[in-house]
Structure 1
Amino acid sequence: MRIGVLGGLEVTGDDGAPVVVAGPRPRALLVLLALNANRVVTADAIIAAQYGDDPPAGAAAAVQAHVSRLRKSVSVHVDIHFDSTGYRLAIDPGGVDALRFEQLAADGRRLLAAGARDKAAALLREATALWRGPALVDLPHGAAQAARLDDLRLCAIEDLVDADPAATSVADLRALVAAHPLRERLRGQLMHALHATGRQAEALAEFEDTRRLLADELGADPSPELAAAHLAILRAEGPPRAGLPGQLTSFVGRGAELARLADLHGTRLVTVLGPGGTGKTCLVIEAARGRDACFVDLSPVTDGELVPHALLRALGLREPAAASDPVRGLVAALDRPLLLVLDNCEQVVVDVAVLVRTLLADCPGLAVLATSREPLGLTGETLLPLAPLGTDAVRLFADRAAAVRPGFAVTDENRDAVTAICAALDGLPLAVELAAARLRQFTVEELAGRLAAHGPFRLLSRGDRTAARRHRTLRAVVEWSWDLLTAGEQLAAARFSVFTGGAALAAVETVCDTTDDVLADLVDRSLVETDGRRYRMLETVRLFCAAQSTEDIRPAHARYYLALAERADPHLRRSEQLERLAELSADHDNLMAALRWSVDGDPATGHRLVAALTAYWWLSGRRSQAGAAATALLDKGATGEQYVACVLLAVPRPEQSHWDRARDVMRGLTELRYPFVAALWGMTTGPWGPVDEAAPLLGTDPWNAALGDLSLAIMSLLDGRPTEGETALRAVLATFRGLGERWGTAQALDWLGEAASWRGEWDRAQALWAESLSLYERFGALEECVDVLCRRADCLARQGDAARAEADLRHARELSARAGQPDPPLVLLGLAAVTGDRGPLSGVAVTPDGPRARLLTALGRHREAVAVAGTAPFAAELAAAVEGLASTAPARDAALLLGTAVALRGTAITGDRSAARTAARATAELGAEEFATAYAEGARQSRTAADSTVSRLSAG
């Protein structure tokens, strides 16, 4: 329970709910017991506190009654114990605000005396914040205790002013002095505050008023401390030194950077670097709090010779005569321990560097904390690059948005929109603040939409009218940095803006026709940032620089990334494929930008990009991202494998005429330049012609040959020769392992798992699929992961493990959505089979590129399913449709069809529950012997005879 007595009595339970204590006497009793937590308060002391010096005759009995009433109110939360002399409240002293206040105030004073001003200020702020009003108002005869607490409060306030002078304004100090005119410490603090703000005359007048008041009221002189303060002000020449400016808003985030600056406390020169709007000034002000510091804003200084004069003014020193050296005066003034904060050094960085070198050399006690968009470049300089905010950007947006729209908070409903806004603005603090201010006009959803549609510069064109011009709008922030660049640097920056998502040094040098020295200059000026391997611009900076460009650099950009893609493609079929996939993934945004531009800018480059990146998109699970560009390029002159790649990757599915033409192209090829295009055709469409036509096309390249063997093995497995296919798959697996190629290895493992599951070798199948999945997951090959999960789920369902099967299918559904293929038919078919809910299947379109026969079977359209499966390239599809047809056929036909399915597939499927139900029904009607005879008759058939049987029994 918590008890508040610093103001009217407030009592709350552990759950935060208020506890009602009725009646003035019980309330007074609780206040008294709380002030003496865990100590016995005698009955006489209670009577004195409630009745004063003239208690009634029955006061003792009345106290017992008051205790009884109080217990009824608070007994759920605390105990009131009685002993022979009085009563004791058993409570944690920290739960009584007056006791907590005393402890915090004492700790704060002790830390202040030890020089730990920041920590002391934090405790003292917490202590003074506990007061809600006059103390002990519910204790009628507690004037002495209240007076003692009031005096402790004033002492805590005075300590807080000493610990953090910026925490209390001159106006607040005047009010305190007016209320307590004889407290000399408050008078001295007011004098110091007036002097610190340049009001020396008022500070001296305050001393004279105090001196007269003390003489008139007490016949005394000012204390030595107050007299010393007066003398110090008298001796000061000119205005006082510029202290740290006050912050108009709360400081959000940057915990790691503040900790880093705290660790650098003994370092003599630290420069905080970053592009405009990253919050460099706010950070250094926050970091310098509690230190003896002088703040110098250099942004108005454009002439380097005037830098020393700016420091002199900030230090409160007289300007030197024309012939005098201002630097000599600075050295004399700064030859003592002091932190010099130099803000906005970038436009006079060379002159600042020269001056700082001199001051640090001649003033051993001096430390410099600078902010700039480029380093000062001095030996011994420690750099702290300031990146845009990460997750704290959302906190900052919420804080600033609540100021313009009271009650605003980030909720589950608007979190995505707020996150999108912060991401669009690179987490740049100033941009986030400017965006939050626009909530006066827009909702967060509208704001996010407008940022996406129009970009940041148009929307963030209004800011604080009193701010420096370079901080009023986002455009002005970036323009300030741009104007400081040389012509050569501006040209390089404009060209660099063509990169999306950053670039490697080789790409920048080639595309921008520049050197690493110029790039280093852009990094130094915070226009470009680097992690040592790649270079990038903040998106807001990139958009501004792109708008300054007078040439179209996109053709050179597209040519570079086409060459990168074509160099990488062969290596995606070798042991180094993971490294090359990572290289391409790092430049994914650039590859996509080059492709999008080439659709209209250079279709021939676009065709080559689509074909060269087919393996990359498929292996990394990004096939759908190329869909729109591939569709647009279909009718722009593509030929050969490039045309086939566009057909395979186009979204939505192209018209059938494109597929027919693509098949003809595949049949007419004499060599493969992009072998993965052929692999993708086989996986998604099936053979493009007889096997003997494909083999010469694949040639003797080891991977191509292994691909051909893999295709033949899968065809054997699915076309009624499972033993032959499994044997071939083992050989293919060994070949791909020998090449160190993981995709082919995963393919072979997947189909070997399928073969094992048909025979009921459950553990072996699961192990093979687990290894296959682990390889696909390393690529990010989402669509292949979906296929493996669907096959594994079917196996689990046949084992009777419906829960794990459903989990695999739901995981497959999530991966499909991430790959841009929501609710694929295979997943929906699996879920329908496992859950028994076929409702979702009614909305699935029976398209040419889907598992049409299986979908028709699931919908109970068995004759249609058989007709469609009859045109499929593999007998396994027809076998599954035939088993579906058997489920509704007369008993003998059902037995014959079940056997025919085995003849077509080359094996029965262990654990197939649908086939088992059909067999049980037919056996019950025919008897076991007749069922076995009919089943065996079907299973012994040749492929031709099986096809004939299917035709005859499905035609009824």
Structure 2
Amino acid sequence: MRFTILGETRVRRDDGTELPLGGPARRALLALLLARPGETVPADRLAEESNPAGPQSAHALQSQVSRLRTVLGPSAPIERTGAGYRIVVPYDAVDAGRFERLARDGRAALGADDPARAAALLHEALGLWQGPALADLADSGSDTARAATVRLEELRLAALEDRLEADLRLGEHRSAIPELRELTGRHPLRERPVALLMRALSADGAQAAALAVYETTRRHLADELGVDPSPELSALHQELLCQDPVPAAARPPAQLTALVGRDSEVADLDALLRRSRLVTLTGPGGVGKTRLAVEAAGAADGEVCFVQLAPLREDTAVPQALLGALGLSGNSLHLGADGPSPAERLVTVLSDRPLLLILDNCEHVLDATAALITRLLAACPHLRVLTTSREPLGIIGEHLYPVRPLDTDAAVRLFTDRATAVRPGLAADPATVRRLCAALDNLPLALELAASRLRTLDPDDLARRLDDRLGMAARGARTGDGRHRTLRSVIAWSWELLPEPERRAARRFAVFVSGATAPAAARVCGTDPDTLESLADKSLLETADGRYRMLETVRAYAGEQLDAAERSDDVRRAHAEHFLDLARTADARLRGSAQLDGLARLTAAHDDLLAALRWTADAPEPGTGLALLAAAAHSLWIRGIPACVATYAARLLDILDGEPPAGLDEEFAICVLLAASGPAGHPVWHRHRARAASALDAVWSGTGQGRHPAALLLWVLRNATDGDPHRAYALVSAQSDGSDPWARAVAQYVTAFGALGEDDPARGEHALHTAAEAFRALGDRWGTALTLDAVAALAGARGDRTEAVALTDQALALTEGLGALADTADLLVGRGDHLADTDPAAARADYTRAAELARRTGSPAGLAAAQRGLGDLALSAGETAEAERRYREALDLLDARWVRSIGSRVRALAGLARVAEIRGDRDTARLHYRRAAEAATVPGASASAVLAMLGLPEPVLQAVQGP
């Protein structure tokens, strides 16, 4: 017999026929007993709560129990125990009991990393629900029923979240998005479905939408509960912000020398990869496995991804390294232990992607690599894998290809080729060369390292040193100590041959993340160009495009030597100070004709700047950290990525406890601005805004002259809707007569908006033209583009669409040349607005491209503007449902506190009002018009002026003013 309380109370025999239970009172009585089968329910509670019409007498209760006993029979006895009754049925015979068991097993399967089983169990559990729990007790007023219902509904919600989590792990993110949107709409303050929706949107390529979901939740939590998102949700948001906006698989490293003696191996490997999905190149360290894998990649058809595993220190880092090589975030978007693992993300990414995946140097993470490859090959039918390792992976389907040392003739050719490259005209005795090659077991890497020493040694001297250093250990390694055949041993051998000044320079060079120019390396390493050149000659450094670079395996070894041999903080401080000087020099170029060069320098130094910032926060060195942030801020805003340093900025503010060091007031204010761009930006901003304002006033008020005039523009933008706009405006506009020409141009730009806010468009446009000319005279492409965009908006507002398009085209040429993708997206939306009435096809193309750029850069505001534009086109075409959908998506993405979102918000609300008018819903139309007018009213500016400034078409202006 089966009992149902997840919906109406029902009883069915094993053959499926339903038993007649009678009226509401009897169903309610049975439901109360089944809520906890086997437990006694007091008779007075049953009498009071089982009858919707009111409490019943003891005699009436006995009568109802007697009738139930008759219907149920001996299969489900109702027993009198003490002062109450209980029903004796198996827990699993009640659908609520089965649900709890299945939900518990499903969660356990999820925790055991078995999402397929978890999904099946949880789908079955949720399928038991036929309506609200204990529906027959809904009107009884029963406290017992209310408590049981709340508990069951909470379990149902948790099971639904677990099932959606399982679906995401199985790659079903696209189908889960609508359900998650509905779930977060019903429970806006519940963080787990929010995190699941963010992960699903991110997996679907909608990074900007995922960021917008976080922002909406953050506002809900602040408004309703007065709290910030949990650390787990904030960490998830930060990981999403740090994702590479343009995922691309890492290519194999370019080779600077010709391959010697491996032609037949390359051909064999190419043929093997065409018929096998997993091939492992085995052999000792330095035998040439990596080089052979790189050559195989060059001969392969289709996409190739190369992953270097040698720098990894833990097994758990293997899937994260693959994600990084595929151009994705190194950490999965997760919430604690319940989130999808990096391996699960890899399955999602590679499930339908034809790819040759090369995993280089697997031996020290062999078990983890083998387990991951097994899983990926099973789940991703178009994937092929080539690994290099000193030993086999040992999994089914693996084809081994042993890579052996070169034969003697090939080894001699390789040694001679590399030796004559460093010492032209060298005529070594053939017997000596063969003896050298034999001493090194014909290992290619060892041969190349040894050959590089011939720049300063004769072959006979080198042969004697090899005999002294390796002796029988190298030649007897086949039966003795195998460590002399590892890559680390080869590096250690080469390292020990270095004189101490070269060792010191090499270990200090390990602090560079992306390599260095000769002057930078000489400064940080405390060495001279000859020493660096000698290290390059000995293959400890590589040179390309005027920069030195250290192979990651060598860099890891050198880093160990640095930590062991000297105070590494001193070297890292020198590294940070060098990149501070570089950033300051490049920052000054950003406000002039050398802007492209300055931006290129800062972009190339980005990874080292982040490493230096990380060290300043860990050391701690807050003064250096503030200076680094200030010097890099302008370039980060041009590139649209200020959030990538928000975490470091916030940590520095915590170290300083909100008080700037002496002489670093301006840098402190910039640190606050950058911290405010991160996931916890709003509370950070309000906690430090007043002190930052005082710091900027101290530097720029009166005849003051700061070091970072870009802070003035950023300060006005940040304060426009979420601060003290009048104070910020006064501070910046006062620079019109200052000594800094770039600050004067910014002052004219800001003054124009003040004039527009006072309904004086002629004065505003004049100020914008003055600012544009000032930026042009300085050679500042970014400032010129921003100003041209505003002038184009004014031209569009007065109906001169041709001029508006021409001005926007000029601005686009500037931002595209800078690589300022977020600004380019904004400009494309502006051009689409100017073209919408006359060339809707061209407008649609601009909106669509803007949306793509916004998604790539993770810009919710840019995506919202594009969605709003597409909504306008749909409305013009009579597609009201599509228009409404686009407008609402735009509003969901927007942050009302950000000044550059005002135009999109006003337009989207006006569009919704037009949709309501078309449908004859005047009340809704009035509501949206009123909201649009409120959104347009920025402090100190009338709605009409702001709208005109933003280039709203006249019909929309009239619409916002409303009926």
Which TM class, normalised by the smaller chain length? 0.3 to 0.5
Structure with the bigger RCO (C-alpha within 8 Å, sep 6+) is: 2
State the TM-score, normalized to the length of structure 1: 0.47
State the TM-score, normalized to the length of structure 2: 0.47
